[in-house]
């Protein structure tokens, strides 16, 4: 009898499923941050090994040619390391800082290429990942009451900071078991669950909703979606709510773009937009204003950090950037310049060369998966993952969260590496 499609069979599938399902345990011991990069490099080495032994494998088990988009990811993230070295040389940052930053690259930017590469070569079955996400969702729903009551029954916000922080990271929040935080100036509780901060939890929640929605079991599917939505709501991330509402309809439209009915349905919408354009524009403007006003201080800091990053990029290091992150002034609460925004951060640290190194594979993947979204469910899921990456690149630093969002990157690689029939 054939094994269930959601049951791990290969070593890669077992590694992936086990790591996902042990998320809460890893969070408690402060092991999530080191586990992500370790898994990424292990899977990449396994993929290299599979390519090496491919000539000796049966034809149906040999990995196909590496897609051009995967090559782009590998080249782009490799270029990030080269740009990093050039930036450090330009500003004479020294050998010690260069080594430290290179290790940081291996734990951040490199993962954006390694996980898709592993997904394309090792071809883990997506259903295994979907089921692991749904099972993690059940764990999250069980633990959710503890997080929600913690601020009201006197439990400490931070349980502890793991000694694993010695492996290095951007801050102790990557290794801390935090039950809740209090919103500055307001004092209301906010939850980040197993993410380093609340908006990051929102990003993870969006990914989990989109992946759990593909689970073949209705029970597990509803469990995973409910858990993802709960994390998104209680993280109080504005961008997460926008993503959950916007990405699924966009993916559905992409899947039906070649159908006349889709364009017939879009025609009255376009006509309506033409007649009521000024009113719609004013409404959208008010929505954006209300969106920013929901957390005025946060929006102000983000905007100021962005302006500082752009100004210093243009005037000081336009091509290869400054090489390292720098803290901003008191005006932005000493937060790192370019944080909260992948592109501003890239321009400041790695210049135009670094921004191009990410833009090329990211938007090439979007174009390929948008075109192929009508051909298979996996292509549509991959498109959803790219949409999350693009949307959140304007609100988070992707490389700082690569250790956490890696299931999306694996699915992206699976989609880009999927063998489609020539008829499609």
Number of independent structural domains in the chain: 1
Q: What pLDDT does residue 171 have?
A: 80
Angle of the 377-392 helix axis to the 342-372 helix axis, nearest 10: 160
Contacts of 151-160 with CB under 8 Å at 24 or more apart are 151/179, 151/180, 151/182, 151/189, 152/189, 155/179, 157/181, 157/182, 159/28
Torsion of CA 13, 127, 119, 378, to 10 degrees: 170
pLDDT of 297 strictly over 60 = no
Residue 322 lies in a domain: yes
Q: Report how far residue 137's alpha carbon sits from residue 10's, in angstroms, rounded to the nearest whole number.
A: 23
Residue 298 lies in a domain: no
pLDDT of 191 strictly over 80 = yes
Q: Report how far residue 196's alpha carbon sits from residue 405's, in angstroms, rounded to the nearest whole number.
A: 12
CA distances from 381 to 166, 348, 410 (A): 37, 32, 11
Q: Report how far residue 63's alpha carbon sits from residue 414's, in angstroms, rounded to the nearest whole number.
A: 12
Residue 368 lies in a domain: yes
Band of pLDDT at residue 153, cut at 50, 70 and 90: very high
Q: What pLDDT does residue 274 have?
A: 58
Residue that the structure tokens 């070649």 belong to: 258
Provide the terminal-to-terminal Cα distance of the chain, rounded to the nearest Å: 31
Q: Report how far residue 278's alpha carbon sits from residue 274's, in angstroms, rounded to the nearest whole number.
A: 9
pLDDT of 277 strictly over 70 = no
Q: What are the beta bridge partners of residue 155?
A: none
- Give me the mean pLDDT over the 195-216 stretch: 95
Mean pLDDT of the chain: 86
Per-residue pLDDT tens over the stretch 18-33: 999 999 999 999 999 9
Band of pLDDT at residue 238, cut at 50, 70 and 90: confident
Buried b (16+ CB within 10 A) or exposed e, 295-320: beeeeebbebbbebbbebbeeebeeb
Q: What are the beta bridge partners of residue 327?
A: 336
Q: Which residues contact 159 (CB under 8 A, 6 or more apart)?
A: 28, 176, 177, 178, 179
Residue 141 lies in a domain: yes
Residue 6 lies in a domain: no
The lowest-confidence range among 6-15, 157-166, 339-348 is 339-348
Residue 389 lies in a domain: yes
pLDDT of 276 strictly over 60 = no
Band of pLDDT at residue 39, cut at 50, 70 and 90: very high
Q: What pLDDT does residue 5 have?
A: 67
Per-residue pLDDT tens over the stretch 60-105: 777 778 999 999 999 999 999 999 999 898 888 888 899 998 999 9
- Give me the mean pLDDT over the 142-157 stretch: 94
Residue 290 lies in a domain: no
- Give me the mean pLDDT over the 363-383 stretch: 94
Q: Report how far residue 84's alpha carbon sits from residue 398's, in angstroms, rounded to the nearest whole number.
A: 16
Cβ atoms of 180 and 189 closer than 8 Å? yes
- Give me the mean pLDDT over the 323-342 stretch: 70
Phi-psi map region of 193: left, alpha, beta (phi>0 left; psi -120 to 50 alpha): left
The lowest-confidence range among 80-94, 148-162, 360-374, 410-424 is 410-424
Q: Report how far residue 354's alpha carbon sits from residue 80's, in angstroms, rounded to the nearest whole number.
A: 6
Cβ atoms of 210 and 347 closer than 8 Å? no
Per-residue pLDDT tens over the stretch 281-293: 554 555 545 545 5
Question: Coil, strand, or helix at residue 159?
Answer: strand
Q: What pLDDT does residue 423 have?
A: 39
Angle of the 11-21 helix axis to the 126-149 helix axis, nearest 10: 10
Upper half-sphere CA count for residue 417 (Cβ side, 13 Å): 27
Cβ atoms of 87 and 321 closer than 8 Å? yes
Q: Report how far residue 385's alpha carbon sits from residue 126's, in angstroms, rounded to the nearest whole number.
A: 13
Domain range for 263 is 11-279+304-417
- Give me the mean pLDDT over the 361-371 stretch: 95
Band of pLDDT at residue 303, cut at 50, 70 and 90: confident
Q: Report how far residue 202's alpha carbon sits from residue 194's, in angstroms, rounded to the nearest whole number.
A: 11
Band of pLDDT at residue 184, cut at 50, 70 and 90: confident
Q: What is the largest CA-CA distance in the chain?
A: 66
Q: Report how far residue 59's alpha carbon sits from residue 282's, in angstroms, rounded to the nearest whole number.
A: 59
Which percentage of the chain shows pLDDT scores above 90?
A: 58
Q: What pLDDT does residue 424 have?
A: 41
């Amino acid at each position: 009898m054939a094994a269930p499609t959601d049951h791990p069979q290969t070593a890669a599938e077992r590694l992936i499923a086990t790591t996902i399902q042990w998320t809460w345990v890893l969070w408690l011991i402060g092991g999530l941050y080191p586990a992500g990069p370790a898994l990424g490099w292990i899977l990449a080495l396994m993929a290299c090994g599979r390519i090496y032994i491919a000539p000796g494998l049966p034809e149906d088990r040999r990995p196909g040619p590496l897609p051009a988009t995967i090559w782009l990811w590998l080249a782009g993230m490799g270029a990030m390391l080269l740009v990093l070295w050039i930036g450090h040389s330009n500003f004479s940052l020294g050998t010690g800082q260069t080594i430290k930053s290179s290790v940081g690259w291996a734990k951040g930017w490199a993962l954006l290429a390694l996980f898709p590469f592993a997904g394309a070569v090792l071809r883990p079955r997506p259903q295994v990942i979907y089921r692991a996400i749904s099972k993690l969702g059940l764990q999250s729903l069980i633990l959710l009451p503890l997080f929600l009551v913690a601020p009201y029954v006197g439990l400490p916000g931070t349980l502890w900071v793991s000694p694993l922080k010695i492996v290095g990271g951007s801050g102790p929040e990557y290794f801390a078991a935090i039950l809740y935080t209090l919103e500055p100036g307001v004092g209301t509780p906010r939850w980040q669950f197993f993410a380093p901060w609340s908006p990051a939890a929102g990003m993870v929640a969006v990914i989990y909703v989109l992946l759990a929605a593909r689970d073949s079991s209705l029970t597990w599917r509803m469990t995973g979606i409910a858990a993802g939505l709960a994390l998104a709501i209680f993280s109080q991330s504005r961008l997460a709510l926008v993503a959950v509402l916007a990405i699924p309809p966009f993916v559905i439209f992409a899947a039906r773009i070649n159908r006349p009915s889709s364009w017939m349905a879009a025609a009255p919408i376009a006509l309506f937009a033409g007649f009521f354009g000024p009113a719609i524009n004013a409404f959208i403007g008010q929505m954006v204003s209300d969106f920013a006003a929901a957390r005025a201080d946060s929006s102000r800091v983000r905007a100021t950090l962005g302006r500082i990053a752009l100004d210093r990029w243009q005037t000081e290091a336009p091509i290869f950037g400054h090489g390292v992150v720098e803290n901003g002034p008191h005006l932005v609460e000493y937060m790192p310049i370019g944080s909260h925004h992948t592109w501003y951060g890239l321009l400041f640290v790695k210049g135009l060369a670094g921004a191009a190194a990410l833009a090329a594979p990211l938007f090439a993947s979007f174009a390929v998966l948008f075109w192929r979204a009508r051909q298979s469910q996996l292509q549509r899921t991959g498109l959803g993952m790219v949409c999350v990456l693009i949307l959140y690149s304007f609100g988070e630093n992707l490389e700082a969260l690569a250790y956490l969002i890696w299931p999306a990157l694996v699915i992206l690689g699976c989609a880009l590496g999927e063998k489609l029939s020539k008829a499609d």
